[in-house]
């Protein structure tokens, strides 16, 4: 089976961002753009990716109840989903 020589548009954009911005900044833009789709509407209302550094994604959380829930239980499931879609993420810090 021969490999398709053409890339999908999202792959081209990702390659372009990596070339222009570097791996981490390009990955962060991709994470931010796919945030709502990945975590869902409700969680996206209460969270926002703030920074991505050395594989660690820092996420701003609105309110102590949401932050506590994400740090305790729900966050692990969200982290698994994020890591599945964005393999660059090694750890998520909810703050």
| pLDDT tens-place string over residues 27-46 | 898 899 999 999 999 999 99
Q: What is the pLDDT averaged over residues 19-27?
A: 68
Cβ atoms of 77 and 70 closer than 8 Å = no
CATH fold for the domain made of 9-94: GMP Synthetase; Chain A, domain 3 (3.30.300)
List all residues 6 or more positions away from 37 whose beta carbon is below 8 Å from its beta carbon: none
**Top-confidence residue, 5 or 63:** 63
pLDDT at position 17, please? Answer: 58
What's the whole-model pTM score?
A: 0.74
93 by DSSP, 3-state: which? Answer: strand
Enclosing H/E stretch for 68 = helix 64-72
């Amino acid at each position: 089976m021969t490999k398709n020589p053409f890339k999908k548009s999202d792959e081209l954009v990702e390659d372009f961002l990596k070339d222009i911005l570097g791996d981490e900044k390009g990955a962060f833009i991709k994470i931010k753009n796919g945030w709502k789709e990945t975590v869902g509407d409700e969680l996206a209302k209460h969270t926002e990716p703030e920074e991505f550094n050395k594989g660690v994604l820092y996420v701003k959380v609105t309110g102590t109840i949401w932050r506590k829930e994400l740090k305790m239980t729900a966050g692990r499931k969200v982290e698994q989903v994020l890591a599945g879609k964005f393999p660059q993420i090694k750890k998520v810090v909810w703050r």
